Amino acid sequence: MEAAVGWTDDRVALLRRLWEDGQSASKIAAQLGGVTRNAVIGKVHRLGLAGRARGGEEAPSTATPSAKVIEIQTAIAVVETQAPEPVAIVSHRPAPDFPASAPTPAPTPLPVSQRVTIMDLRESMCRWPLGDPTTPEFRFCGARSITGLPYCTHHAEIAYQPATERKRDRRVASFR
């Protein structure tokens, strides 16, 4: 590992000159040698050189903070008034045709006898909630659940939809 090169007065003076000339921290580090870009940035901040003039701009002013705020607000207003008009993007390609998804089967009503309360719910029963939980009529589906899943076949189809189908449904809905 190389020995660290210290910040001598000559190196600091060269750093200041290169920074004020608008050189990047990477280029300054390469010219100084023995330091990294991050070391240059750290030294610049410790020396208080963070504000520097760039091509065509004035050097940082010593104006009061409120004057700086007014300058910034004026610059923002100038940028906003000079913004180009939005351009419509026209595509020469036709809209993609999404394959029609299989129609969702109409929900088949469960017999009231299959609906169960939380007290009657067992491990092999569908845990799909039915109704408003704040009412006494609230029940769970209670049909035989798929092994390893909390829902019956019908409710598993509703609960577990592939992500691509959900995205496709959203895109089709947004074109309408």
What is the structure's pLDDT at 56? 45
In the chain, the percentage of residues whose pLDDT exceeds 70 is 54
- Better-predicted residue by pLDDT, 166 or 35: 35
66, part of any domain: no
40, part of any domain: yes
89, part of any domain: no
In the chain, the percentage of residues whose pLDDT exceeds 90 is 10
172, part of any domain: yes
Number of domains in the chain: 2
What is the structure's pLDDT at 12? 92
- Better-predicted residue by pLDDT, 35 or 62: 35
Q: What is the pLDDT of residues 3-16, one digit of tens each?
A: 556 889 999 999 99
Q: What is the pLDDT of residues 73-108, one digit of tens each?
A: 555 555 555 555 665 555 566 665 656 666 666 666
Query: Which residues span the domain enclosing 165?
Result: 108-176
- Better-predicted residue by pLDDT, 86 or 38: 38
Is a pLDDT exceeding 60 seen at residue 49? yes
- Better-predicted residue by pLDDT, 134 or 99: 134
The DSSP element (H or E) to which 130 belongs, if any, is strand 129-130
Q: Which two tokens stand for residue 87?
A: 């351009």
Residue 174: band (very low, low, confident or very high) from pLDDT cuts 50, 70, 90: low
91, part of any domain: no
Q: Which spans in the chain are helix H?
A: 9-20, 25-32, 37-47, 65-81, 153-159, 163-175
Q: Which of 145, 135, 156, 136 is nearest to 114 (CA)?
A: 145
2, part of any domain: no
What is the structure's pLDDT at 163? 74
DSSP classification of residue 150: S
Average pLDDT over residues 38-66: 68
What is the structure's pLDDT at 113? 58
What is the structure's pLDDT at 57? 46
The 3-class SS string of 131-142 reads: CCCCCCCCEECC
- Better-predicted residue by pLDDT, 29 or 85: 29
43, part of any domain: yes
Q: Which two tokens stand for residue 136?
A: 């006494």
Distance separating alpha carbons of residues 97 and 100, to the nearest angstrom = 9
156, part of any domain: yes
Residue 176: band (very low, low, confident or very high) from pLDDT cuts 50, 70, 90: low
